Amino acid sequence: EVDRWAELQHWLTVLDKFNPDKALDPKLIVDIEKHFKYFWKEDRLDYISAEDQILSKVPKSTRQNFIVKQLFSDVLYEFRAFFNLNCYSSSEYWYSMIFGLLPRKFDKGEVIYSEGSEVEELYLVRVGVVSVGFKVMGEVNFGKDLGPQSTFGDYYIVKGKRSEFIFECKTEVEALGITKDHFLKVLGQYPKKADLVKAASINRYIELRKDVLEKKNILLKKFNKVYDQSLIYSEDYGKLEDINTYAASEKKEIESDQMIKNMLDQLNENITEFENTLDDLIIENEEDFALFSSKVDGAKSNQLLNRQLIVIHSFFILI
């Protein structure tokens, strides 16, 4: 770490020499130093990469078990919905996605996404709270808080959209980030699993959007009583959001015949894989196994899987 710190200082010095007439902003230097200090401390893959020569010589199952079970079992459990843990997803998929995890730390009050900003990373919140908000008449208001074990940004990436809301740190936040490029690359490697991930992202975002826009609509209605209606409904101040129409439109996509077929195929593959690769599951002891078994037996009550089964059931009624 001492060598890396010295290397960072040398790098900053070299950058400073490129523009001798204007010194680097001291705050920028502090931010860069804080970033790397935290990153180096929390990066579990510091000396390991997916192309690591030593790791590549280890049998595939051992390699995956080492990364998944030993290094990231807590992360997979915390974010089991994001990693499709309850859909019997394989350790191979987890392994690929894990190599994109990047430690991130944000200060209280720091804005992660602004309205209309490009989304280059998605985030898994481990510590702290991120508030999701919007502007009404120039004032920022918040409609929902996302605490530990929350995920955000994945919807914007899979849909290729800019951020609809403001995501601001209510407290200091520690998270794991995954770049858009890595996320889409892994989904491209597992196209059937990609449909499960996309469906889960859309469902989570529908709920988030509903909560936030309900608060926004309350404010718009309140202003409507004070100001002339034409002002409130002008382009400058926006109009009441149609929450249900948006949700229905999004659900049409995840209820399409092709996506239903892909999800059904993937669920069948996952169940078969689950039955044949119990050793790949994150089971620490008999108590955990009993707990996991009960979850498997009651999988239909799982919220995400239940939604998918309802969609699949509806599909078969239609045909």
Distance of alpha carbon 135 from the chain centroid: 23
Give the pLDDT band (50/70/90) at residue 153: very high
Specify the pLDDT at position 263: 61
User: pLDDT tens digits for 288-316?
Assistant: 545 544 544 444 344 444 444 434 333 33
Contact of 73 with 131, CB cutoff 8 Å: no
Specify the pLDDT at position 12: 77
Q: Where are the beta strands (DSSP E) in the chain?
A: 102-106, 111-113, 121-127, 130-136, 139-146, 151-152, 166-169, 173-179
Contact of 40 with 102, CB cutoff 8 Å: no
Task: Output 56 or 231, whichever has higher pLDDT.
Answer: 56
Contact of 164 with 155, CB cutoff 8 Å: no
Task: Output 24 or 128, whichever has higher pLDDT.
Answer: 128
Task: Output 40 or 52, whichever has higher pLDDT.
Answer: 40
